[in-house]
Amino acid sequence: MEVPQHFEDYRVGDVRQSGGRTITEADIVIHAGHSGDFFPHHMDAEFCRGQPFGQRLAHGTMTFAIGIGLTATQINPHAMTYGYERLRFPNPVFAGDTLRTRITIGRKADDPKRLGYGQVVEICETTNQDAKTVMYCEHILLVKKEGTP
């Protein structure tokens, strides 16, 4: 759904909460095949039995892709991604975990180089069913100011 917002419309502290999604063994298999990462931590249950978590882990790149994908329900035509900072995976994701992502507007600033644009930082936190954070990152958006063509 399109939700047009100019730089001026973002308010620091505003929060948006995604729906939930249960990660499945199928997701891990599909992500391995899609990314080409077949490391035993994700794919080899026998190997994992001897590791601290005792079972296969979701790929960090998948937790990022799905965690961010959960928020892809509203499009702002005035914004584009500049990049991501401080991407972390504080807790592991296992098949059966249910994830949801909370976006908080963290800070705003004029863009140092692009006249007519500002930077908006969305704090993205993906949590599991136990409210543990499994992915954290700061999504930097370039957003048009009002009146910028």
Which of 12, 69, 107, 109 forms a contact with a copy of itself (CB under 8 A)? 69
Which of 8, 39, 54, 107 forms a contact with a copy of itself (CB under 8 A)? 39
Interacting residues with a copy of itself between 88 and 127 (CB under 8 A): 88-89, 96, 98
The Cα–Cα gap between 59 and 34 comes to: 11
The Cα–Cα gap between 131 and 98 comes to: 10
Q: Is 106 helix (H, G, I), strand (E, B) or coil?
A: strand
Which of 7, 10, 58, 70 forms a contact with a copy of itself (CB under 8 A)? 70
> Considering the rule CB under 8 A, would residue 20 count as an interface residue with a copy of itself?
yes
The Cα–Cα gap between 118 and 52 comes to: 44
Residues in the site for a copy of itself, rule: CB under 8 A?
A: 1, 19-22, 24-27, 29-40, 43-47, 56, 59-62, 64-66, 68-70, 72-75, 81-89, 96, 98, 129, 137
